[in-house]
A and B are shown apart, each in its own frame.
Chain A
Amino acid sequence: MAAMLNNSLFARLSRIPPAYFVFVALLLVLWIARPHMLNTNIMGIFIRQVVPLGILVLGQLLVMRVNSIDLSGGSVIILVNYLISSSFFHDASLVTYFVLAVASGVGIGLINGYMVGIRRVSAVIATLAMNIIVIGAVEFLASGKPPGAVPKFLNEIYNSKLWTIPTPIVFWIVLSLMMWVLLKRFVFGRNVMSVGENPTAARFSGVPVERTVILAHALAGLMAGIAAFVQTSSLVMGSVRIGLDLPILAVAATILGGVVFGKGEGGVWGPFFGVLSFALLFVVMTTFNIDEPGKLVAQGAIILLAAIFYGLKTAGSK
Chain B
Amino acid sequence: MTSISKAFGSSQALWDVSIELFGGSVHALMGENGAGKSTLMKILAGVHQPDSGEIHKDGARVSFANPKDALDAGISTVFQELSLLPNLTISENMFLGREPVTRLGTVDYAKMNAETRRALQELGLTLDPSSLVSELSIAERQFVEIAHGIKADASVFILDEPTAALNAADVEVLNRHIRRLRDAGKAIVYISHRMDEIFEICDTVTVLKDGQVIGTEDIADLSPDRLIAMMVGRELEDLFPNRSENLGERLLEVTDFQIAAGSRPFSLAVHRGEIVALAGLEGQGQQKFLRALIGLFHPVAGHVAIRGRQLPLPANEANGIRRLRSYGAAFVPEDRKEEGLFLGLSISHNIAMALHSKVSELQPARSFSGKVHDTMASMNVKAASPNAPVTSLSGGNQQKVLLGRYLAANMDLLLIEEPTRGVDIGAKSEIYKLLRDFADEGGAVLVLSRETIELIGLSDRIYVIHGNTVVSNMQAKDATEHKILDAALGA
For window 224-258 of A, CB contacts with B under 8 Å fall at none
Q: Are B361 and A204 closer than 8 Å at their CB atoms? A: no
Chain A residues contacting B354 (CB-CB under 8 Å) are: 205-206
Which among A185, A201, A215, A265 is the interface contact of B340 at CB below 8 angstroms?
A: A201
Total CB contacts across the A-B interface at under 8 A: 86
Q: Are A197 and B345 closer than 8 Å at their CB atoms? A: yes
Chain A residues contacting B365 (CB-CB under 8 Å) are: 185-187, 189-190
Q: Are A191 and B405 closer than 8 Å at their CB atoms? A: no
Q: How far is the CA of A189 from the CA of B352 in the complex (A)?
A: 13
What is the 8 Å Cβ interface bit string for chain B, positions 306-345, against chain A (1 contact, 0 not)?
0000000000001101100100000101000011111111
Q: Are B359 and A187 closer than 8 Å at their CB atoms? A: yes
What is the 8 Å Cβ interface bit string for chain A, positions 181-222, against chain B (1 contact, 0 not)?
000011111110110011011111111111110010000000
Q: Determine if B400 is an interface residue (Cβ-Cβ < 8 Å).
A: no
Chain B residues contacting A193 (CB-CB under 8 Å) are: 342, 345, 349
Q: Determine if B378 is an interface residue (Cβ-Cβ < 8 Å).
A: no
Q: Determine if B360 is an interface residue (Cβ-Cβ < 8 Å).
A: yes
Q: How far is the CA of A203 from the CA of B356 in the complex (A)?
A: 13
A208-B322 contact, Cβ under 8 Å, with A193-B349, A198-B343, A201-B340: yes
Which among A190, A208, A210, A264 is the interface contact of B353 at CB below 8 angstroms?
A: A190
Chain A residues contacting B343 (CB-CB under 8 Å) are: 197-198
Q: Are B349 and A207 closer than 8 Å at their CB atoms? A: no
Chain A residues contacting B345 (CB-CB under 8 Å) are: 193-194, 197
Q: Are A204 and B342 closer than 8 Å at their CB atoms? A: no
Interface of A is mostly: helix
Q: In angstroms, how far is the closest chain B Cβ from the Cβ of A79?
A: 27
Q: How far is the CA of A248 from the CA of B61 in the complex (A)?
A: 63
Q: How far is the CA of A215 from the CA of B360 in the complex (A)?
A: 12
Q: Are B342 and A197 closer than 8 Å at their CB atoms? A: yes
A200-B357 contact, Cβ under 8 Å, with A186-B364, A205-B405, A206-B322: no
Q: Which residue of B lies closest to A207 (CB)?
A: B357
Q: How far is the CA of A187 from the CA of B355 in the complex (A)?
A: 10
Size class of A's contact patch? 20 to 34
Q: Are A205 and B357 closer than 8 Å at their CB atoms? A: yes
Q: Are A190 and B340 closer than 8 Å at their CB atoms? A: no
Which among A186, A200, A212 is the interface contact of B338 at CB below 8 angstroms?
A: A200
Q: In angstroms, how far is the closest chain B Cβ from the Cβ of A228?
A: 25
Q: How far is the CA of A215 from the CA of B362 in the complex (A)?
A: 11
Q: Are A186 and B321 closer than 8 Å at their CB atoms? A: no
Q: How far is the CA of A215 from the CA of B26 in the complex (A)?
A: 57
Q: Which residue of A lies closest to B318 (CB)?
A: A210
Q: How far is the CA of A185 from the CA of B353 in the complex (A)?
A: 14
Chain B residues contacting A211 (CB-CB under 8 Å) are: 361
A186-B344 contact, Cβ under 8 Å, with A206-B322, A206-B358: no
A187-B356 contact, Cβ under 8 Å, with A193-B349, A215-B361: yes
Q: How far is the CA of A189 from the CA of B358 in the complex (A)?
A: 14
What is the 8 Å Cβ interface bit string for chain B, positions 159-182, against chain A (1 contact, 0 not)?
000000000000000000000000
Q: Are B319 and A191 closer than 8 Å at their CB atoms? A: no
Q: Which residue of A lies closest to B325 (CB)?
A: A206
Q: Determine if B223 is an interface residue (Cβ-Cβ < 8 Å).
A: no
Q: How far is the CA of A202 from the CA of B319 in the complex (A)?
A: 12
Q: Are A204 and B322 closer than 8 Å at their CB atoms? A: no
Q: In angstroms, how far is the closest chain B Cβ from the Cβ of A14?
A: 15
Q: Determine if B363 is an interface residue (Cβ-Cβ < 8 Å).
A: yes
Q: In angstroms, how far is the closest chain A Cβ from the Cβ of B401?
A: 12
Q: How far is the CA of A198 from the CA of B333 in the complex (A)?
A: 14
Q: Which residue of A lies closest to B361 (CB)?
A: A188
Which among A204, A207, A212 is the interface contact of B333 at CB below 8 angstroms?
A: A204
Q: Are B338 and A204 closer than 8 Å at their CB atoms? A: no
Q: How far is the CA of A50 from the CA of B319 in the complex (A)?
A: 41
Q: How far is the CA of A95 from the CA of B108 in the complex (A)?
A: 74
Q: In angstroms, how far is the closest chain A Cβ from the Cβ of B4?
A: 31
Chain B residues contacting A198 (CB-CB under 8 Å) are: 338, 341-343
Q: How far is the CA of A198 from the CA of B356 in the complex (A)?
A: 16
Chain A residues contacting B358 (CB-CB under 8 Å) are: 206
Q: In angstroms, how far is the closest chain B Cβ from the Cβ of A37?
A: 41
Q: How far is the CA of A211 from the CA of B353 in the complex (A)?
A: 16
Chain A residues contacting B341 (CB-CB under 8 Å) are: 198, 201
Q: In angstroms, how far is the closest chain A Cβ from the Cβ of B98?
A: 26
Where the two chains meet, the residues of A that have a C-beta atom closer than 8 Å to any C-beta of B are 185-191, 193-194, 197-198, 200-212, 215, 263-265
| A186-B362, A194-B357 given; 10 more Cβ-contact pairs under 8 Å | A186-B364, A187-B361, A187-B365, A190-B352, A194-B342, A198-B338, A204-B331, A206-B321, A215-B361, A265-B344
Where the two chains meet, the residues of B that have a C-beta atom closer than 8 Å to any C-beta of A are 318-319, 321-322, 325, 331, 333, 338-345, 349, 352-354, 356-365, 405
Can you show 12 pairs from A to B with CB atoms below 8 A apart?
Answer: A186-B361, A186-B363, A187-B362, A194-B342, A197-B342, A198-B343, A202-B353, A204-B331, A204-B333, A206-B321, A210-B318, A211-B361
